[in-house]
Amino acid sequence: MDGVFWHDDVGYVVDMHRMPSSFPDGVTFGPAVLDDMVRAAAGFPDLGTAPLASWLIARLFHLTRERLGFETTSKLYNDGGGFYVNLIVFTRVLKPFAFIYVHGTSNNCRCWGQCARPHEATTVISSFVDSLTSEPMALMQCHLTVVDTDPPDLDKRRFSKPYPLGWDGTRFLGVTSKGAATS
């Protein structure tokens, strides 16, 4: 299948249709903040003042071979800014057992979703983080411009200022809520 990536016996593919999905007796989880789990991985790069979302989007573009549902140079408008990626998680026999929704912004990266019983949410999240961090420098160059369509000061302006996320081949783009701009 095009755009699928594997870690051990678990496969991941982007749900391009972004359909709400669930299991009749599934376990809902999240939102789980991914930042500390991902940054703790061996060999994780120094991002400088860039947010984890810049690394995460470059990693996801690499893993899916650009199959995220938007281009590596897209301008994305959505509530909360950042990017959203919906993943279907499945076994080697192509049986889905979890749905993961990922949101990356300059503040943090989070995931939430649902897994079928008897799968545990902590195992699903841990496996996803392991798939991301198994080769932390296997990245694809990208430069997203993201715009929050519902900024906190909406009464003062229509949209927030655009900010960059991605990796230019040598440095990570953007700024965390605590850092200085590195665009």
- Convert the pLDDT of each residue in 63-119 to its tens digit: 999 999 999 999 998 887 899 999 999 999 999 999 999 999 989 999 999 999 999
DSSP state of 172: E
pLDDT (average), residues 146-153: 77
Q: What is the pLDDT of residue 1?
A: 66
Q: Both tokens of residue 129?
A: 């983080």
Q: What share of the chain is helix, strand, coil (3-state, %, to 5)?
A: 15, 30, 50
DSSP state of 155: T
Q: What is the pLDDT of residue 176?
A: 77
Structure-model confidence comparison of residues 25 and 150, the more confident one: 25
DSSP state of 161: P
User: What 3-state class would DSSP assign to 7?
Assistant: strand
Q: Both tokens of residue 173?
A: 């783009």
For the chain, strand residue ranges (E) read 5-7, 10-14, 27-33, 75-78, 83-90, 96-104, 109-115, 142-148, 163-167, 172-173
pLDDT (average), residues 8-35: 89
pLDDT (average), residues 174-182: 62
Instruction: Give kind and range of the element (H or E) at residue 35.
Output: helix 35-39
Q: What is the pLDDT of residue 3?
A: 83
Could you tell me the pLDDT band of residue 182, with boundaries at 50, 70 and 90?
very low
Q: Is the dihedral of CA 22, 33, 93, 68 positive or negative?
A: positive
Q: Both tokens of residue 160?
A: 């927030």
CB 115 within 8 A of CB 36: no
d(CA 180, CA 183) in angstroms, rounded, equals: 9
Q: What is the pLDDT of residue 181?
A: 45
Q: What is the pLDDT of residue 180?
A: 45
Q: What are the backbone dihedrals phi and psi of residue 119, each rounded to the nearest 5 degrees, phi first?
A: -70, 145
Per-chain mean pLDDT for the chain: 89
pLDDT (average), residues 119-134: 94
CB 120 within 8 A of CB 128: no
